[in-house]
Structure 1
């Protein structure tokens, strides 16, 4: 009998809450659990958690009494004190780990609190996701017991005054359960390596000694790793060295732009499993084969709220306004883009994570990530989302039979009006003008506002074709090579200036 064919005992099913009941009730339980745990913290006392808990339905009182925070505001008012070792600020006890997350919008690192309660919740969600493989068809069960190659940040964390900090993937790998150690690759020694290029070289050297069933990581880095293995050992595809490779677990960025180039490296199809694991928590995961979205984690360690992503709730720079409308899970609707607010078991309260999502199946709580609150282009009302950009790039790749693993877009002045300047990574032979027209035409089909503005103030679309190596070199120059780092889809401000200077230097 295979691992996933073993019936789950009722006691374990209850522990994992595999049959949790209605969404509203689930989220209500989660909020009460969080409030009870944190009511004696400074934050809980300031915002009257005891008073909120007295109400039969505390969600609306919670929304009324507790303000919305983004990273800058919650750090300035609360989290900076946890870095000084002060306990019981936003969550009980002393915070011993911080995930360093600079996202894709700037260079300054963000210190996101990581607690044992958060990690425990993340692990439970991971187990739930694994159990959903029972519902997939034609799953190669033997591959599940093979190695899991997880490309993440270094487990050699930075030592602060009373805490450790590093990539969430590095913290997770450092605290991997003992029972998982035999499956975990590249192993603790290589995982400690800080230099990304050295780590990749060591993985390539060890590749023939491993029997890999899963690969886990950001698409660009997984693809690069497989390319290096194939080149080193003169293979036709990665399955010649890892014949049991059957699953790819990905997240953080849309996979479709990478898929064409990725599948050139395979000898047989993989099962793709999407996850939404942020530094702030394990938010959602794909729980069924060929599903259109990811199932929100509604019954563990995260209380969710949704803010319609529109001009009534956000300013032109993507900052949330004080009077923003916030909705509970059961109040959200399909087909609308929402910014997410999280309250978590690490002391994030009504925290604007910065991602935007759209419900694809409300009944099943399934969502897709559509972009970032500050990563969109609307110079003249074109309202171009990252989701639009990803789809336009994917379609252009199919139309021209090319692979475009990376891209970024900048809004720039053009004559007396404006233009979009696309920078795309493509190592295939491509006519830049054909690609420019394909992207532009696809966006006109996908976005009515864009089509209107292309006849008005958005006068031009410019395009520069670069190599994928150029994109990687820029990330390396910013100290963001490897791990969970992702290339920004929209360039603005100082980052745009640095990118333009970099491109000028490599194209001279």
Structure 2
């Protein structure tokens, strides 16, 4: 394992050194917008708002592309874009807002309007999420971390990977959709494992993780702060310890997203 962890760390450093550093956010965003418009110009939404015409303005070398895009493409809320476009995706139609059909829909928590909103998750989006996750790991090369950390378990606390299927598409939590498509090399380190990850009963899932926690050597935890705080409190209470490091002494990294960490900082500390 020492050899594996050393190779992983060196590989991460090498790969990160090959990542191009960018200093101009506007250039990055311009490049990304151009890629998206090129990809979607032959879709229904691309034809309606003349993505091809917007792309022609990129050759002018100024901010014309932005003004043209802003003038031609309106701002949608969920209800309007679902009614006009995304509902067709749920019916199995292709090339509506992105090339091809959409087989996965993430269910939002539903803060307004419908109790739960269906967000289309394309293959390209899953690839982008995976790529971002890899880049997060690559960023570890910027920190002075021991080689041994790179052979520790990675606990990813999310929704069930047991998705619903209605004959046309799969639906479930975004974290469940992405966790069901982890890269093969990451599965070696992934916890809580496929069996527990499939559990749809949230309380039962937490109890299963608590029971297995003492058997895992976790170095990285990933998830929404509220969920992870609840889990760690349950582990601490169950084993009668002072803090989580008595169970996972090698825990050093916490990766989160979706919400601000500040409201949870004191509890975590």
CA RMSD of aligned residues (A): 2.0
Matches within 5 A, 1:281-320: none
For the residues of structure 1 that align with 2:221 and 2:27, how far apart are their CA atoms?
35
Aligned residues: 258
Q: CA deviation at 1:121?
A: 1.5
Q: CA deviation at 1:235?
A: 1.9
The residue that corresponds to 1:244 in the other structure is 250
Contact 1:95–1:114 under 8 Å retained in 2: yes
For the residues of structure 2 that align with 1:231 and 1:99, how far apart are their CA atoms?
33
The residue that corresponds to 2:97 in the other structure is 90
Which of 149, 166, 171 aligns to 1:160? It is 166
The residue that corresponds to 1:76 in the other structure is 83
Which of 39, 47, 50 aligns to 1:48? It is 50
Contact 2:163–2:170 under 8 Å retained in 1: yes
For the residues of structure 2 that align with 1:131 and 1:9, how far apart are their CA atoms?
7
DSSP 3-state at the match of 1:209: coil
The residue that corresponds to 1:290 in the other structure is none
Contact 2:102–2:120 under 8 Å retained in 1: yes
Gaps of 5+ in 2: 1-5
Contact 1:99–1:111 under 8 Å retained in 2: yes
If you compute each CA radius of gyration, which structure gives the higher value, 1 or 2? 1
Q: CA deviation at 1:43?
A: 0.8
The residue that corresponds to 1:66 in the other structure is 73
DSSP 3-state at the match of 1:90: coil
Is the counterpart of residue 22 in structure 1 residue 12 in structure 2? Answer: no
Gaps of 5+ in 1: 264-508
For the residues of structure 2 that align with 1:40 and 1:135, how far apart are their CA atoms?
41
Q: CA deviation at 1:158?
A: 1.1
Q: CA deviation at 1:173?
A: 0.5
Contact 2:130–2:182 under 8 Å retained in 1: no
For the residues of structure 2 that align with 1:68 and 1:103, how far apart are their CA atoms?
20
Cα 1:160–1:63 change in 2 (3 A) is same
DSSP 3-state at the match of 1:31: helix
Contact 2:9–2:150 under 8 Å retained in 1: no
Q: CA deviation at 1:2?
A: 6.2
Deviates more, 1:124-133 or 1:36-45: 124-133
For the residues of structure 2 that align with 1:83 and 1:246, how far apart are their CA atoms?
42
Q: CA deviation at 1:9?
A: 5.5
Contact 1:212–1:245 under 8 Å retained in 2: yes
For the residues of structure 2 that align with 1:247 and 1:236, how far apart are their CA atoms?
19
Q: CA deviation at 1:82?
A: 0.3
Query: Highest relative contact order (Cα 8 Å, sep 6+), 1 or 2?
Result: 2
Which of 91, 113, 130 aligns to 2:120? It is 113
Partner deviation per Cα, 1:231-267 (whole Å, 9 max, x = no partner): 222222211121111111122222222222222xxxx
Q: CA deviation at 1:196?
A: 0.3
For the residues of structure 2 that align with 1:248 and 1:26, how far apart are their CA atoms?
27
For the residues of structure 2 that align with 1:181 and 1:9, how far apart are their CA atoms?
20
Contact 2:15–2:138 under 8 Å retained in 1: no
Cα 1:235–1:197 change in 2 (3 A) is same
Q: CA deviation at 1:70?
A: 1.2
Contact 1:98–1:163 under 8 Å retained in 2: yes
Higher strand share: 1
Which of 139, 142, 147 aligns to 1:135? It is 142
Is the counterpart of residue 99 in structure 1 residue 106 in structure 2? Answer: yes
